[in-house]
Amino acid sequence: MNVESEKVDGGIHPKHSAKKYIVGYLSSLVLTALAYTFALKRSFTLGPLLIVLMVLAGLQIVVQLYFFMHATEGDGPPFHLGALVLGLFFTFAVALMSVWIMGFPAFSARVS
Amino acid sequence: MAFIEYALHGRVANEEKPLEYQDPEQSIKILGFWIFLATDMLLFGCLFATYLVLRTHTDGGLTAKQLFDVPGFATETFLLLTSSFTGGLATLAMRNRNKSAVLAWIAVTVLLGLGFLGFEVSEFAANVARGATMQRSAFLSAFYTLVGTHGLHVSIGIGWMIVTWIQIARKGITRVTARKLFVVNLYWHFLDVVWVFIFTVVYLSGVVM
């Protein structure tokens, strides 16, 4: 079946609105502005500041996934969400556990 | 019901679904691309881990705080966030079967992507002019590998966007080109997510620490 040649313009289809995209864009700008303001004004002491920045970045992931990437939509069971959650878990595990293990006194003495 | 229809006709005619999901053969490719993104995330996870471990190993060279230029990376961030939005608008126009709007928004997205790359290249050139080359210290090796891998992804994304633009210009909005546009935009939004972590973990943390 040649789908390539089959034009789909002109059919009856629901109109999609730009609202979701505009809300997504504005929230990503606000989250970014907050991150820059907190960091440049040193609004918190270092430890809490880094945690706040990571939380803001985490919210940006949610904004991109929900408003732009339509992660909650799709055809059939949401297998892609399973892959996504597993990917995110391994990514954060590799990065954060590296920081954790290198923070051990025996290690930091040897490498620095 | 949908399954019987699929068995009989090879596809499910469901006009309620967004265009890119209407043909099962195309929608399975979207699932495949999500799985690719999950694995690409692991690549960046390893590069972030390397950077976080080597971040302080400057070997007497420039440190993160001395190197990073706040207005420069703020501009890069703004350009990439905006291009993620305009890419999304291209997907929206595709779902509304508006070919000229699709082509216009892809063009805007490509230009913003090129702007981002331009700022990144000039940032790297300015760093090198100050003696901060990739081989200077472990910190700089990790920095250029992480940020450069993201920049390479963006370059590939720009080329891919241009190819998609040409295909849509020539073939119009079909179930196949709709899926292609959706997938290239998934990639583009993913790169925006990676950049958010680069500006948080590398740039902003580098400036405050």
pLDDT tens digit string along B56-100?
A: 999 998 999 999 999 999 999 999 999 999 999 999 999 999 999
**Cross-chain CB nearest to A11 (options B15, B24, B185):** B15
Cβ separation of A24 and B85 shorter than 8 Å?
Answer: yes
Whether the pLDDT of residue B153 is over 90: the answer is yes
Whether the pLDDT of residue A8 is over 80: the answer is no
**Cross-chain CB nearest to A84 (options B16, B34, B192):** B34
Whether the pLDDT of residue B43 is over 80: the answer is yes
CA–CA distance, B181 with B107 (Å, rounded to integer): 13
CA–CA distance, B164 with B180 (Å, rounded to integer): 7
Q: What pLDDT does residue A29 have?
A: 96
Task: Give the residue, A3 or B80, on which the prediction is more confident.
Answer: B80
Domain borders along chain A are: 18-73, 75-112
Instruction: For residue B88, give the H/E element and its range.
Output: helix B70-95
- First and final CA of chain B: distance in angstroms? 59
Cβ separation of B96 and A16 shorter than 8 Å?
Answer: yes
What kind of fold does domain B19-208 have according to CATH? Four Helix Bundle (Hemerythrin (Met), subunit A) (1.20.120)
CA–CA distance, B102 with A80 (Å, rounded to integer): 25
ipTM given for this complex: 0.85
User: From residue B134, how far is each of B129, B130, B143 by CA, in Å?
Assistant: 12, 12, 8
Residue B197 with chain A: CB contacts under 8 Å: 57
Mutate to test the interface with A, among B189, B194, B202, B205 (most CBs of A within 10 A): B189
Instruction: For residue B107, give the H/E element and its range.
Output: helix B99-129
Instruction: For residue A84, give the H/E element and its range.
Output: helix A79-102
Q: What pLDDT does residue A14 have?
A: 64
Q: What are the phi and psi torsion angles at B128 (to 5°)?
A: -65, -40
Copy the structure tokens of residue A102.
């290198």
pLDDT class for A5, splitting at 50, 70, 90?
very low
Whether the pLDDT of residue A111 is over 60: the answer is no
Q: What pLDDT does residue A36 have?
A: 95
Q: What is the pLDDT of residues A27-44, one digit of tens each?
A: 999 999 999 999 999 988
Answer whether A57's CB lies under 8 Å from A43's CB. no
Cβ separation of A9 and B185 shorter than 8 Å?
Answer: no
Q: What pLDDT does residue A77 have?
A: 86
Q: What pLDDT does residue A80 have?
A: 92
Give me the mean pLDDT over the A104-110 stretch.
68
User: From residue B157, how far is each of A82, B48, B160, B162, B195 by CA, in Å?
Assistant: 25, 21, 5, 9, 14
Whether the pLDDT of residue B27 is over 80: the answer is yes
The residue to which tokens 């290249």 are assigned: B121
Q: What is the pLDDT of residues A40-90, one digit of tens each?
A: 999 889 999 999 999 999 999 999 999 999 998 888 888 999 999 999 999
Residue B25 with chain A: CB contacts under 8 Å: 3
Whether the pLDDT of residue B113 is over 70: the answer is yes
CA–CA distance, B14 with B90 (Å, rounded to integer): 22
Domain borders along chain B are: 19-208
How many degrees, rounded to 5, is the angle at CA A67 between CA B27 and CA A77?
A: 35
